[in-house]
Structure 1
C-alpha cells in the first residue's frame, strides 16, 4: 500500500505534500507524488520537460528526507479518471490533497479535492494550511478530531474505522458528533408528545432542545456505534440538535470546538441521487475552515454481532408469551437483561381525536394491576434470578409500532415474541400478524417462539 499525494507545486500543495510525506515516513509506506499540470486541463503532453516536471523532481528530492521512498509521476490535466487508475487507487492507504491552490477551467465547478473524494476508492485527506496535522504527524501534540456519527447509518462505520487508524498513529481527542432532530427522535422512540404546544413543558416547547430521555438514549446509541476506541486521548459525545442541512451543524460544532480535523463517511451517490439527497461530506469538505477526511464505505469493517445480552418480550399474558419469556431468559443468560412490555391496544372511544404523538402510558385505572401481572410473569428458577428484569406498560393504536419504539428506547439486542395457533380469549392478545410486522419493521433481530 502507498500514500498518494497530488500536487501542482503551489504553496498549499507543498504544505499538503509535507504532511503526506511525514505520514508516509511514520507509517513506513512509500509516497506516490502525482504532479498535476492544471494550467491547461486536457492539453496534450509536451515533448520537452515543463517547469512543473522539473519542479516535481525537486519536490520529490525534498520529500525523500521525510518519507524515504518517493515516486514522482507527472500527470497533465486534472481529470480524476486519468490521474488515478482504479487498481492503484483501491490499493492506496490514503490520498492527500490540498484544499486550495488549484486552478480550474471556467466550466468546472468542483475542485480537485472534491472530485477525488467523489471518486471514492480510498480515504481522501484534504489539507488546509494550518500546522495542526503536521505537528501531530511529527508527534508533537494530540489532534482534536471531530467524527460525524449517525447511529443508524453505515457511513459512520467507515468514518470510525479511519478514526481508529488515526488513534493508532498518534493521540487524538475525539468529538463524536450526531446531528439530530428532536421531533424526529421523539417520534422514533415513541415518547408521548401532545400536539398542542400549551400542553408541553417549558423544555419541550423549545423546538431545538432534547428531552432528557431522548438525550440518554442517543448518548447510549452513539457510544454503542463507536465501540471501543483504543489509543491516547479523550472521547466525548456531542449531540447537536438541528434542522435542515446536517453539514451546516457539523461545521458549527467544528468551529465552536476548535476542531483540527473533521472525519465524515460518504454514501458515494452520483448524478440525480446526489442532487436529490445532497451530500453531508461534500458540504463539510467545501466549507470547512480546517482539514477534512472523507472516507468511502469500502473502508468499513464488518460488524461482528456479539451474543445477545438483552431482550424485549411483548407480553399479552398468554401461554405463548410465557414461553417467549423463558426463551429470552435462557438466551441472555446470567447477568443479562430482559424487558417485559405490555401494549394496551386503544379501541373505540379510547382512540378519540389524535391529539398526541408517540405512545400513551397504560390507562391509569389499570396501570398498577398490569405492572403487577408483568412482574408475576418472571420465572423463579435460578437462571431467572440472575437476570436483570424491567417491566413497562404503554397504550397505542399500532401494537407493532409501539413494540419497535420500545426496542429503540431500551436498546435491546433481540426481540422474542411468542405465537400460537390456539386462539386464547385474552384482552390485548397478540395476533399472528404482529409477529410478521415485527420481522418486517423492527431494526433489531426478532425471534419468533412458537407454542408447542
Structure 2
C-alpha cells in the first residue's frame, strides 16, 4: 500500500498576501496531484486587566478560528474539485509552526507579508525566517501579485555553478514543465578589471572570452535538467552587473524566479545568501528558494 504523498503546505493568516499565496498553492497542488495543507498559527495573547465584557473564553476563540479555516478550505475544494485539502490550527508562533510542517512537506508557500509587522516592509518576519531555516523549497508570493500579460509563461532561474544553483535549476525545469513555460537561465557577470592604487596601470581582460566562458558554464549547469525535461524550451540570459539586480529585473516579466539558498559568494556560515535575500525583498513575481 502506497503512503500518502507529502503535502504542499501553505501558511495562512487571512491577510491579502496569504490569500494570494493560498491561490498559488492550491493551483500548484492541483497540478502536482499533491495534498494541500492549510496551516494557521493560533497564538494566545494575554491582556492584563481586561475591561468587563471583553473576556472571551479561549475555547470559543479557537472554535471560531477553526470554523473560519474550514470555510477557507471548503472554498478551495469548490474551486479545485478532487483536490485533497487538510487544515491545521496550530498552537504557537507562526514561524515555529510552519517550520515544523516543513519537515514533512514537499513545498511551503507563504505570502511575503502577514497581518503583523511594519506596513512598510516588503518581506515580513515569518517569510524571512522560514526561507532561512526550512529544509524544503519555499515559495514566497508578493502581496501585490499581478498576472503578467504575456503569451508564454516564463520561469527564471539564477545560475552560478554552485550545488544549490543546480538544485534550483532542476526545480525551475520541474515548474516550467508543469506550467508549460520556458526557462530563462540568468547568469550575471562583470569584467574583472583591476586598477592599481596609483592608477598607473590596468590589467585588461577579454570581455568576449569571459562571456563565452559564462555561456559554457550555463550550458553545462543546465544540461542535466534540460535532458530530463526535453519538452521544456530554455534560453540563456547573460547580464552585466549584479545577480540580484538581474533577477529582480527579470521578475518584472517572469511568472516565477528560482534561486538557490546560497551561491558561491558570501560567508559560508550564512543560511541564506545575499542574492536570495535581495531577490526575496524586491522581486515582483513569486520567488522560490531552493536548498
Using the size of structure 2 for normalisation, the TM-score is 0.76
Residue of structure 2 in register with 1:225 after alignment? 221
Deviations 1:297-350 (A, max 9, x none): xxxxxxxxxxxxxxxxxxxxxxxxxxxxxxxxxxxxxxxxxxxxxxxxxxxxxx
Report the CA distance shift for 1:223/1:171 in structure 2 as closer, same or farther (over 3 A). same
| Cross-structure match for 1:113 | 127
Q: How much does 1:178 deviate?
A: 1.2
RMSD: 3.6
Q: Secondary structure at the match of 1:262?
A: strand
The CA deviation at 1:231 is 5.2
1:248 matched residue in structure 2:
245
Report what 1:54 is aligned to: 67
Partner SS, residue 114 of structure 2:
coil
Asked whether the equivalents of residues 247 and 280 of structure 1 are also in contact (C-alpha less than 8 Å), the reply is: yes
- What is the number of equivalent residue pairs in this alignment? 261
Q: How does 1:302-451 map to 2 (within 5 A)?
A: none
Q: Report how far residue 234 of structure 1 moved.
A: 3.3
Distance in 2 between the 1:39 and 1:74 partners? 12
Residue segments in structure 2 that go unaligned for 5+ positions in a row = 1-5, 47-56, 195-199
Q: Is the 8 A contact 2:99 2:133 kept in 1?
A: no
Residue matched to 2:237: 238
Do the aligned partners of residues 166 and 242 (structure 1) sit closer, same or farther apart at CA in structure 2, a change above 3 Å counting?
same
Q: List per-residue Cα deviations over 1:247-292 (Å, max 9, x = no partner).
A: 234223434xx222110001399x99439x9521111111112210
Partner of 1:31: 36
Q: Could you say what secondary structure the match of 1:293 adopts?
A: strand
| Residue 98 of structure 1, CA deviation | 1.1
Give CA-to-partner distance per residue, 1:181-225, whole Å, 9 cap, x none: 3117x9xxxxxxxx835x96xxx6xxxxx7112111211111111
Aligned runs of 1:145-184 on 2, under 5 Å? 145-151=155-161, 153-183=162-192
- C-alpha contact 2:156 2:172 (8 A) present in aligned 1: no
Q: 1:68 aligns with which of 68, 83, 104?
A: 83
Contact 1:3/1:32, CA 8 A, preserved across alignment: yes
Q: 1:11 to 1:25 in 2, by over 3 A?
A: same
SS state of the match for residue 49, structure 1?
A: helix
In the TM superposition, residue 70 of structure 1 has moved relative to its aligned partner by: 0.9
Match of 1:102 in 2: 115
Q: CA deviation at 1:118?
A: 1.0
Give runs of aligned pairs for residues 2-41 of structure 1, distance below 5 A: 2-37=7-42, 40=45
CA contact (8 A) 1:78 1:112 kept: no
Return closer, same or farther for 1:162/1:272 CA change in 2, 3 Å cut-off.
closer
Q: Which has the larger radius of gyration?
A: 1
Query: Does the CA-based 8 Å contact 1:155-1:266 persist in structure 2?
Result: yes
* CA shift for structure 1 position 82: 3.3
Shift in Å, 1:142: 4.1
Residue 127 (structure 1) aligned with residue 123 (structure 2): no
- Aligned partners of 1:170 and 1:232 also within 8 Å: no
Are residues 40 and 180 of structure 1, via their aligned partners in 2, closer, same or farther at CA, if it must alter by over 3 Å? farther
**TM-score, length-normalised on structure 1?**
0.51
CA deviation string 1:385-410 (max 9, x = no partner): xxxxxxxxxxxxxxxxxxxxxxxxxx
Aligned partners of 1:168, 1:278: CA distance in 2, in Å? 27
**Contact (CA 8 Å) 2:186, 2:246: kept in 1 or not?**
no
Quote the Cα distance in structure 1 between the aligned partners of 2:231 and 2:146: 20
SS in 2 for 1:100: coil
Relative to structure 1, the CA distance from residue 285 to residue 158 in structure 2 (aligned partners, 3 Å threshold; closer, same or farther) is: same
Distance 1:19 1:39, change over 3 A: farther
Q: Secondary structure at the match of 2:172?
A: helix
